[in-house]
Amino acid sequence: MLLKVCGATSRRDVAVLGAAGADLIGLWHGVPGGPAELSAGRLAALAQACRTLEVTAARPAPEPVLVTFLPDPAAVLDAARAAGVRWLQLHGYQPPAVVAALKRGWPEVTVVKVLHISGDACAERPLLASYERAGTDVFLFDAVSEAGRVGSTGVTLDPGVVLDLAEATTQPFLLAGGISAANRPRYEKVTAHPRFVGVDVDTAARDAAGAFCADRIGGIRRQWRAVPEVEEVA
């Protein structure tokens, strides 16, 4: 199970997230007005900080993920290549053609396409097969707030809606939307899905002041990585 934590803006953030057990660290570039937006130079510096972080022998250094709203595949690839980032998370409403152009331009990248879910409706539902044909490697199911806000909403998804969407796709998926240590039991069936690969967190990874909190992240990691108890059959 992968743990992705989103929105690092400093070397300290990267160090806290790495030590707390994040496998993937989200770095924003091309999120206009976003509080965690990074210039191309900062993106490259923090991506390097992820890769060179000293973690335990049992765990590889966290993988940086470029999280972006950019609609221009050439701009995404330029930023990713310059920073040496091989995971690209398309968090906006970029169409399947953008995924296809990214895979054509750099076939080795892992493209994560966010699917925006509001209530029981997924905005990209009519395009799922197109996104898969275009080369999407992983879907990320995330909540849109009632006001239409996208990203870090802290709003949770209905597990039934998640499972229904999982069945409408064939690729691995990450779950986001208000994920915390406490709500893991609610998603028992989701975690048992054969294509569930992990969770993506922002709000619950932070303390009251908005700083990343190692204890909270460690708690999320422990709860979501735990293997559920299996009832013994007599």
Ligand X SMILES: O=C(O)c1ccccc1NCC(=O)[C@H](O)[C@H](O)COP(=O)(O)O
Positions in the binding site for ligand X (CB under 6 A): 6-7, 26, 31, 34, 67, 91, 142, 151-154, 176-179, 200-204
Nearer to ligand X, 29 or 133 (CB): 29
Q: How far is the CB of 57 from ligand X (least distance, A)?
A: 28
Q: What pairing do the DSSP bridges indicate for beta strands 110-118 and 121-122? A: antiparallel
Nearer to ligand X, 43 or 104 (CB): 43
CB 68, CB 29: distance < 8 Å: yes
Specify the residue, 147 or 227, whose C-beta has the smaller distance to ligand X: 147
Buried b (16+ CB within 10 A) or exposed e, 147-162: eeebbbbebbbebebb
Smallest distance from ligand X to CB 175, Å: 9
User: In the complex, what is the shortest distance from the CB of residue 176 to ligand X, in angstroms, rounded to a whole number?
Assistant: 4
Q: How far is the CB of 117 from ligand X (least distance, A)?
A: 11
**Cα–Cα distance, 223 to 228 (Å, whole number):** 10
Question: Which residue lies nearest ligand X, judged by its C-beta?
Answer: 151
Task: Tell me the CA distances in angstroms from 137 to 57, 64, 107, 172, 203, one per residue in order.
Answer: 28, 16, 11, 7, 25
Answer yes or no: are the C-beta atoms of 83 and 66 closer than 8 Å: yes
CB of 234 to ligand X, least distance (A): 41
Q: How far apart are CA 8 and CA 233, in angstroms?
A: 46
- The residue among 209 and 234 lying less far from ligand X, judged by its C-beta, is 209
Task: Select 107 or 162, whichever has its Cβ closest to ligand X.
Answer: 162
